Structure 1
Amino acid sequence: MADEKTVLVFGATGQQGGAVAKALLAEGWLVRALVRDPAGTKAKALATAGIDLCPGDFSDHASIAAAMSDVHGVFSVQPSSGQGPVHGITDEQELRYGKAIADLSAAYGVRHLVYTSVAAAGKGVTGLGHFDMKTGIEEHVRSLGIRSTIVRPVTFMEILMLPGMGLDHGTYSFLMRPDQAMQFIAVDDIGRIVATIFSGPDRFAGRTIEIAGDTVTGRGLQDAFSRAAGRTITYNRFPDSLLAQNPLLGRLAELVDDGRCAGAVDIPALREEFGKLLSLEQWLSGAGQPLFKSALEASGGTVALR
């Protein structure tokens, strides 16, 4: 399926796009990436790996159209409007960029569009723009009548390693209660799943697929982190006072409690379709190990999740 076919990957210098680009290359696809600065360090690394770089950005439709020339597929991901004013974009920009990529894919005859959304999308208004914009993009993609697949990842394992969660003090705080389950996925598994989808367009066309690699309770995090650290790590949910003071964290906790951010993926069935998916402990002993080590050694206040 990959012989002489090209996939245009958006966000290839970031987590999801980078994982998708790597997985596609491993499967023998030709990969093209839209990059703002081809001379940047991350872009140069992509070029070294054999990825064709096309200069441009989300606001420049002409550059996107040029990058889409003669491609078989497009992987669509936008900077999340939940990343804050430094690294992110506005809700309206995320919605506009996601719709524009879908429209241009239709206009230029792209044969398979894969859009990456979020597990909370499509389950009613959440009140968080970076979730609700993805619902809007999903609806627009479906309305175009093109061959498309939507994936909805749960929370990334990589997010667990953000600084300020307390690991450097022998504690850890997150969104679920100690006995409450939440699902997670390694970014590399997103890449492998998307590569499989591109290899089976007829099989996956028209589907919306929720994806996760492991289900873990708060106490499960405590146990996994303690084993990985070689010392006791104590888990507690974020304090009620913090959830009350921080509207974003408070709403995320509510969405975990009502299930929309907790995940409800049938992981054994997903493994049957896509093969091996990493558990949290497997990730901690592999790709996540350096991130975990850095988090153990970091210092700082409680992070405001983005």
Structure 2
Amino acid sequence: MTDTPTVFVTSATGSQGSSLCYELRKFGWNVRAITRDSRSSSAQALSAAGVHFTTGSWDDEAALREGLEGCDKLFLCLVPNLEDFEIIPRQAALITRLAKAAGVRQAVASTTLGCFMLEEGFVPPVTLSPLFEAHLHCMKHMEQAVIGRFEQWTVVRPGLFMANFIEPKIQMGYTEPKKGTWTTALTRESLLGLVDHVDIGRLAAAAFKDPATFHGRKLGMVSEDLRVQDAMDQLAEAIGDGRSIKAVHMTEEEVAQAQALAKDGGSGLVIASEPSLRYASGYTDLDELRRLLHGLTTFKQFLVREKDAVAKTYLN
């Protein structure tokens, strides 16, 4: 083990993981990861930045052992499968078991903001839909795989990704704004907690650099709170062709109908029809986040930074 930290990053070619990898390489830290396709453009770019990849999957114990060798820190971020909620708990248990055996002492897990609703003693203000509750329990298992199992641990719980409104993430179920509307269970006054994936990477990197400050914390992570129509107005302005995007707020009857259909839809439908998220802004502390991480990204700033992706998504 050298004096330079070595971090094993799961989902390194995804939005959160890649952002973290680039932050860690700025520090000169060693970064190790696993990929199923070392020839992908994202893996190639990360390799060029100095990330060391092992070819394999989250169920490949031999590849995980090889990837984790020499690591002392772990970033755990696994994408749930809405058709099989047993996958994430199994993979998280395997990865953390092998990480412990490899000598990892600090872990940061990134899950989802809604996990606050599963805290002991917390009573959700409304009944959770079955699919959304199953999703949250799946992510909670990932948290439990790190909480108390490492010398230092931190849980980051992101809100709705700003990147969900542009390619390629828009294909995960958020394509409705391309048609000029976005239907949501949030009310006109509800705050939509939007998060920039780059900010998640920066926050995770900050936690790795300063484990004493971040140890034992469960942080709701958003970059900006906006009312839904304000967010849609900013998106339409960034597209720049004069269109408008209208926020459509569901009635209670429409919410019930959408939830009945959500089991057959993508992640966007699951989130859009979930009324408990009307209260999610209460699970974040933006003042504290700004203290921990300077320069949180506004939605407008994100849309300017990603102007090429905005044009590709809405103008091509």
TM-score (normalised: structure 1): 0.84
2:274 aligned partner = 254
2:155 aligned partner = 150
The answer to whether the Cα contact below 8 Å between 2:190 and 2:278 also exists between their aligned partners in 1 is: no
Q: Which moved more, 1:92-101 or 1:103-112?
A: 103-112
1:267 aligned partner = 286
Please state how far the C-alpha of 1:282 moved relative to its aligned partner: 1.0
The total of aligned residue pairs comes to 289
TM-score (normalised: structure 2): 0.82
Kindly report which structure 2 residues correspond to 1:282-301, keeping only aligned pairs within 5 A, or say none: 282-287=301-306, 289-297=307-315
1:121 aligned partner = 115
The answer to whether the Cα contact below 8 Å between 2:73 and 2:104 also exists between their aligned partners in 1 is: yes
Same amino acid, percent of matched pairs: 24
Give distance in 2, aligned partners of 1:63 and 1:257: 38
Within the candidate set 132, 136, 147, 1:131 is matched to 136
Q: Which moved more, 1:73-82 or 1:149-158?
A: 73-82
1:112 aligned partner = 106
Specify whether residues 263 and 47 from structure 1 end up closer, same or farther in structure 2 by C-alpha distance, changes over 3 A only.
farther
Give distance in 1, aligned partners of 2:310 and 2:270: 25
Please state how far the C-alpha of 1:121 moved relative to its aligned partner: 1.1
Instruction: Output the amino acid matched with 2:146.
Output: V
2:266 aligned partner = none
Specify whether residues 257 and 11 from structure 1 end up closer, same or farther in structure 2 by C-alpha distance, changes over 3 A only.
closer
Q: Secondary structure at the match of 1:182?
A: strand
Give distance in 2, aligned partners of 1:38 and 1:250: 32
Specify whether residues 41 and 254 from structure 1 end up closer, same or farther in structure 2 by C-alpha distance, changes over 3 A only.
closer
Q: Secondary structure at the match of 1:80?
A: coil
1:72 aligned partner = 72
1:276 aligned partner = 295
2:204 aligned partner = 194
Q: Which moved more, 1:224-233 or 1:130-139?
A: 224-233
Q: Which moved more, 1:187-196 or 1:146-155?
A: 146-155
Q: Tell me the C-alpha RMSD between the 2 structures.
A: 2.5
Q: Secondary structure at the match of 2:92?
A: helix
Please state how far the C-alpha of 1:80 moved relative to its aligned partner: 1.7
Residue deviations 1:90-148 (CA, integer Å, cap 9, x gap):
21111111122222222222021111111011423943333211112222322425321
The answer to whether the Cα contact below 8 Å between 2:115 and 2:139 also exists between their aligned partners in 1 is: yes
Query: Is 2:258 the partner of 1:243?
Result: yes
Specify whether residues 134 and 172 from structure 1 end up closer, same or farther in structure 2 by C-alpha distance, changes over 3 A only.
closer
Give distance in 2, aligned partners of 1:290 and 1:72: 37
Specify whether residues 156 and 263 from structure 1 end up closer, same or farther in structure 2 by C-alpha distance, changes over 3 A only.
farther
2:43 aligned partner = 43
Instruction: Output the amino acid matched with 1:153.
Output: P
Instruction: Output the amino acid matched with 2:295.
Output: K
Please state how far the C-alpha of 1:207 moved relative to its aligned partner: 1.5
Q: Secondary structure at the match of 2:189?
A: coil
Specify whether residues 200 and 150 from structure 1 end up closer, same or farther in structure 2 by C-alpha distance, changes over 3 A only.
same
Give distance in 1, aligned partners of 2:52 and 2:46: 8
The answer to whether the Cα contact below 8 Å between 2:9 and 2:32 also exists between their aligned partners in 1 is: yes
1:14 aligned partner = 14
Give distance in 2, aligned partners of 1:294 and 1:208: 36
Give distance in 1, aligned partners of 2:116 and 2:191: 21
Within the candidate set 78, 89, 96, 2:90 is matched to 96
